Amino acid sequence: TASILLVTSCDSPRVTSPEAKVAFERVIPKPNATTSTGKTFLITESTTIVAASELQDVAKYLAQNLQHITGISPTLTTNVTKGAIVLSLEGGSADLGSEGYTLQIDEDQLKIVANKPAGIFYGIQTVRQIIADKNDKSSRDEWEVATGTITDHPEYPWRGSMLDVARHFFSVADVKRYIDLLSFYKINILHLHLSDDQGWRIEIKSWPNLTAIGGQSQVGGGKGGFYTQEQYKEIVAYAQSRFITIVPEIDLPGHINAALVSYPGELLPGPSIVLEATKPRPVAGRPHIGTEVGFSTLSIKKELTFKFVEDVIREIASITPGPYFHVGGDEAAVTKKADYITFINRFKEIVNANGKIMIGWEEIAQADLDSTSIAQFWHSQDHANTAAEKGAKIIFSPSTKAYLDMQYDSTSRIGLHWAAYIEVDSSYMWDPTTLVSEIERKQIMGVEAPLWTETVVTMDDIEYLVFPRLPGIAEIGWTSSAVRNWEDYKVRLANHAVLWRKMEIDFYRSPKVSWA
Ligand code: TNX
């Protein structure tokens, strides 16, 4: 009788356990629509993954992640049997777009349907978050997922983060980890800030001193570093495998001291710029390991300036498959306004001639923008509005909300606070459609959370500032504002602490959240 009972209990539908319910409800970014049906799908040793040939890469990625979470490594097959995980590009509705997915889970099957591999990939991210947590070692051969349906697609096409690898250099391995952390929250853009006064971080074959000299320094005087073009390609390919587009930034015409130090004869403007300074400040053309900004500029009078810009943009554009090139354009405090406008207009021509769309920080609003340009709002509503009036699209990176380098409060061990102290609730409670009143929804590309690294030295430092704030910015980019609110979000966020511990993420234990 004992064995008969056992068989019966295995075959009768199992109700969702409390752990599976919590996991099912903790998805960040919050999906558009979720319904629970109260039963359980089990991942076991006999679970298989069924995927068409164009989905083999994402299927392998799913298998690796399941192995990591459960210790079980499902085999990839082509025939659907009971208990399979099915990835399919057939039958997705049109409104899922190119990034949406549906996740249909019943006791016999877990199925992700999407129009494009990106949607399947995002469905997989959801699956990674909804597998019930286990503490009971004796039952590690069965992992529960609550049954139900999730239908989901993003609000905005631009869900980004920026990593400043110029103020402090981060290795290829660090950038890959950063990419993995971003993809867990369905972020699809990584903007790399590849140059600044303190360091130049990408090999330019026609101007080798940029890395031989300009790449050898960073804030505080460390040894710096740079990516060879091969390493950059490796980062780009890794990002592509996570459906993340790399946006390279070379900051022009200011924030350029590392290049001036590398090629003083060719690029350094005359001494007038130094003499105009009224208080002690860094000197253009000398290595800069401090954090002051706005003292360096290219000169439109130097014969080689535009040759330099053309060479740099051409070389980087040729190894960047994504459609964008970011020209910086911020805080060019020692560039005359007329020159600044000339510069940005020229940069736009050069970027376009190399087949890319120009992005710049909001100050580029002063130049001749059109609907093919993108301005990144960080500080000035006036600039953002002007850019929008000129037809440009706007990326929202408000420094008072989305800057990941701001301290949480006055006790934060690293970070700046010139824009604000930003606790996790404040970083979550805003919306791009209401922040700058005159900008219409159709001109908003989405959101991006920049991590400037003046005070950020290690991967642990990155994680401390990025978590728990980044998931909230990701949710603002993905989830419609109509279904977002802090009270609901903070419960889901609390339950992500369990996931972060497993991923060894060194997060800030904000007192605003009752961490699980
Ligand atoms: C302003 S925001 C900058 C950066 C600094 C950052 C520090 C912007 C476009 N420029 O150069 O790193 O503040 O928070």
pLDDT tens by residue, the chain, 516 residues? 444 444 444 556 689 999 999 999 999 999 999 999 999 999 999 999 999 999 999 999 999 999 999 999 999 999 999 999 999 999 999 999 999 999 999 999 999 999 999 999 999 999 999 999 986 655 678 999 999 999 999 999 999 999 999 999 999 999 999 999 999 999 999 999 999 999 999 999 999 999 999 999 999 999 999 999 999 999 999 999 999 999 999 999 999 999 999 999 999 997 645 545 555 689 999 999 999 999 999 999 999 999 999 999 999 999 999 999 999 999 999 999 999 999 999 999 999 999 999 999 999 999 999 999 999 999 999 999 999 999 999 999 999 999 999 999 999 999 999 999 999 999 999 999 999 878 999 999 999 999 999 999 999 999 999 999 999 999 999 999 999 999 999 999 999 999 999 999 999 999 999 999
Asked if residue 408 is part of any domain, the answer here is: yes
Centroid of ligand 1 to alpha carbon of 162 (angstroms): 11
**Chain CA centroid to CA 470, Å:** 8
Q: How far apart are CA 197 and CA 213, in angstroms?
A: 12
- The CA-based angle 266-270-276, given to 5 degrees, is 145
Final residue in a domain of this structure, among 152, 171, 201? 152
Pair (79, 167) in one structural domain: no
Closest CA to ligand 1's atom 5: 452
Centroid of ligand 1 to alpha carbon of 31 (angstroms): 32
Q: What CATH number is attached to the domain comprising 373?
A: 3.20.20.80
- Residue to mutate, 452, 453, 465, ligand 1, most ligand atoms under 8 Å from C-beta: 452
Pair (140, 88) in one structural domain: yes
Ligand 1 atom nearest 403 alpha carbon? 14
Closest CA to ligand 1's atom 7: 452
Centroid of ligand 1 to alpha carbon of 490 (angstroms): 29
Pair (62, 175) in one structural domain: no
- Under the phi-then-psi rule, with left for phi > 0, alpha for psi from -120 to 50, and beta for the rest, what region is 247? beta
Pair (360, 217) in one structural domain: yes
Q: What is the pLDDT of residue 136?
A: 65
Pair (313, 411) in one structural domain: yes
Asked if residue 507 is part of any domain, the answer here is: no
What is the span of the domain harbouring residue 91? 13-152
Find tokens 């990326």 and name the residue.
395
Centroid of ligand 1 to alpha carbon of 452 (angstroms): 7
Ligand 1 pocket residues where CB is under 6 Å = 293, 330-331, 361, 378, 403, 405, 416, 452, 454
Pair (307, 229) in one structural domain: yes
Closest CA to ligand 1's atom 12: 452
Pair (146, 167) in one structural domain: no
Asked if residue 256 is part of any domain, the answer here is: yes
CA atoms within 13 A on the CB side of 126: 35
- Residue to mutate, 165, 249, 293, 406, ligand 1, most ligand atoms under 8 Å from C-beta: 293
Ligand 1 atom nearest 376 alpha carbon? 9
Centroid of ligand 1 to alpha carbon of 183 (angstroms): 24
Ligand 1 atom nearest 255 alpha carbon? 11
Asked if residue 87 is part of any domain, the answer here is: yes
Asked if residue 214 is part of any domain, the answer here is: yes
Tell me the β-bridge partners of 438: none
Closest CA to ligand 1's atom 11: 293
The domain total for the chain is 2
For the chain, the C-alpha Rg in angstroms (whole number) is 25
* In contact, 141 and 44? CB cutoff 8 Å: yes
Final residue in a domain of this structure, among 123, 152, 181? 152
| Catalytic residue list | 331
Pair (285, 400) in one structural domain: yes
Asked if residue 512 is part of any domain, the answer here is: no
Pair (311, 423) in one structural domain: yes
Q: What is the pLDDT of residue 11?
A: 53
Pair (132, 163) in one structural domain: no
